[in-house]
């Protein structure tokens, strides 16, 4: 009979050999997703691709995501419909650009003066209740909302020098739908064209510039090469964008891969936060392509006051709109009371 001592001795001798060559288990068939971003290739390299790279590297072959840039599968304005149909498995966009069929649409992108800085966005979603609203509203239309994040402010880069509000009158600007609706009262002519056509449109005179981004994007995507001035005043401190997945595709994903996708999203947020925050400062200070101009703060206050009236107008559109506007009011009250750097735009 094998004694206990002999058995244990044999097991001890066998263990090192067994541990020396651990098996690496890989999925037999990878789950494959097609993911489209609102951003063109140059911008998408920084705002979406870090997340996709993180997931593809860490998924060990179980999930493979192919990234498509602005308008490559469908136009940005059709992203939501394509997501619902399953033509696209996942999307990175703001609610406004993708024509979200929810009351949330105008709050994505740049809702005028809702934020001061990039970190306001995660605070509003995670501490002030926007997360619950977004989850509930997208569940009603059969799309899984994963999360939101901030990006750059909405400044102006133009061919024409802007030093007063009067200089906005008649400017043909590429901008977001809600931002355009707001700016129209100051004479701005909002233009809706494909993202990748904007640079050429400035060169041909179809556009006078953009009210789309901060200065980091202007340099990154080539807009600083075709415009001359950057207006330091902005109409919003941070873009609000989200990540969406087709509801059926998300339901099919194993729990550990769902966790991985969320981790990749958070990693992308971390990269993007520092990229924008550092870029905005460095390019204002050392950039040599765009001359900085400003409208005096006392005059720009007219734009800020117009935003307050705009908020009230939107709040009258429905219960959800009123609730979101109330949250923006509450948060702005807090940061204004807190003082710099929270309310320093």
139 contact partners, CB below 8 Å, separation of at least 6: 145
Residue 224 domain flag: yes
Same domain, 229 and 320: yes
Same domain, 134 and 252: yes
pLDDT attached to residue 186: 98
pLDDT attached to residue 197: 95
Tell me the C-alpha distance between 205 and 12, whole Å: 79
Same domain, 126 and 56: yes
- Contact between 186 and 168 under an 8 Å Cβ cutoff? The reply is yes
Same domain, 191 and 204: yes
Residue 26 domain flag: no
Same domain, 82 and 94: yes
Same domain, 173 and 316: yes
Tell me the C-alpha distance between 175 and 197, whole Å: 13
Residue 291 domain flag: yes
pLDDT attached to residue 59: 98
SS3 call for 338: helix
| Structure tokens belonging to residue 330 | 């509450």
Same domain, 217 and 299: yes
Residue 4 domain flag: no
Same domain, 172 and 308: yes
Same domain, 68 and 195: no
Strand partners of residue 240: 109, 150
Residue 18 domain flag: no
69 contact partners, CB below 8 Å, separation of at least 6: 36, 37, 39, 40, 41, 44
The model's pTM is 0.89
Phi, psi of 167 (to 5 degrees): -70, -15
pLDDT one digit per residue (tens) for the chain, 345 residues: 444 444 444 444 444 444 444 444 555 689 999 999 999 999 999 999 999 999 999 999 999 999 999 999 999 999 999 999 999 999 999 999 999 999 999 999 999 999 999 999 999 999 999 999 999 999 999 999 999 999 999 999 999 999 999 999 999 999 999 999 999 999 999 999 999 999 999 999 999 999 999 999 999 999 999 999 999 999 999 999 999 999 999 999 999 999 999 999 999 999 999 999 999 999 999 999 999 999 999 999 999 999 999 999 999 999 999 999 999 999 999 999 999 999 875
Tell me the C-alpha distance between 327 and 130, whole Å: 8
pLDDT attached to residue 343: 85
Residue 17 domain flag: no
Residue 262 domain flag: yes
CATH of the domain at 95: 3.40.190.170
Same domain, 183 and 252: no
Residue 116: burial class (beta carbons within 10 Å; 0-12, 13-18, 19+):
buried
Same domain, 92 and 201: no
Strand partners of residue 143: 246
Residue 21 domain flag: no
Same domain, 279 and 307: no
Q: Shortest CA distance to 302 belongs to which of 159, 168, 136, 107? A: 168
If one counts the domains in the chain, the total is 2
What is the residue range of 210's domain?
A: 155-237+287-338
């Amino acid at each position: 009979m094998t004694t206990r001592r002999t058995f244990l001795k044999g097991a001890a001798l066998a263990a090192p050999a067994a541990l020396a060559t651990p098996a690496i288990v890989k999925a037999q068939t990878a789950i494959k997703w097609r993911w489209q971003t609102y951003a063109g290739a140059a911008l998408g390299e920084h705002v979406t691709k870090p997340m996709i790279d993180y997931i593809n590297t860490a998924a060990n072959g179980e999930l493979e995501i192919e990234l498509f840039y602005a308008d490559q599968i469908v136009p940005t304005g059709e992203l939501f419909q394509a997501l619902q149909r399953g033509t696209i498995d996942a999307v990175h966009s703001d609610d406004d650009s993708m024509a979200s069929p929810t009351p949330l649409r105008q709050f994505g992108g740049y809702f005028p003066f809702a934020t001061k800085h990039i970190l306001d966005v995660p605070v509003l979603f995670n501490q002030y209740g926007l997360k619950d609203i977004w989850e509930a509203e997208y569940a009603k239309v059969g799309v899984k909302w994963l999360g939101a994040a901030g990006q750059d402010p909405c400044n102006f880069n133009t061919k024409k020098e802007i030093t007063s509000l009067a200089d906005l009158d008649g400017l043909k600007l590429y901008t977001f739908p809600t931002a355009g609706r707001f700016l129209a009262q100051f004479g701005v002519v909002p233009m809706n064209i494909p993202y990748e056509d904007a640079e050429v449109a400035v060169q041909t005179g179809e556009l006078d510039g953009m009210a789309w981004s901060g200065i980091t994007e202007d340099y990154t995507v080539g807009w600083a090469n075709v415009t001359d001035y950057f207006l330091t005043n902005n109409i919003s401190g941070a873009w609000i964008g989200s990540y969406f997945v087709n509801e059926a595709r998300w339901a099919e994903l194993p729990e550990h891969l769902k966790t991985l996708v969320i981790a990749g999203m958070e990693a992308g947020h971390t990269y993007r936060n520092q990229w924008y925050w550092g870029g905005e400062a460095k390019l204002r200070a050392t950039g040599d392509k765009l001359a900085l101009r400003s409208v005096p703060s006392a005059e720009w206050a007219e734009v800020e006051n117009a935003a307050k009236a705009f908020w009230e107008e939107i709040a009258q559109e429905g219960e959800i709109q009123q609730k979101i506007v109330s949250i923006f009011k509450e948060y702005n009250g807090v940061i204004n009371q807190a003082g710099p750097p929270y309310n320093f735009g």
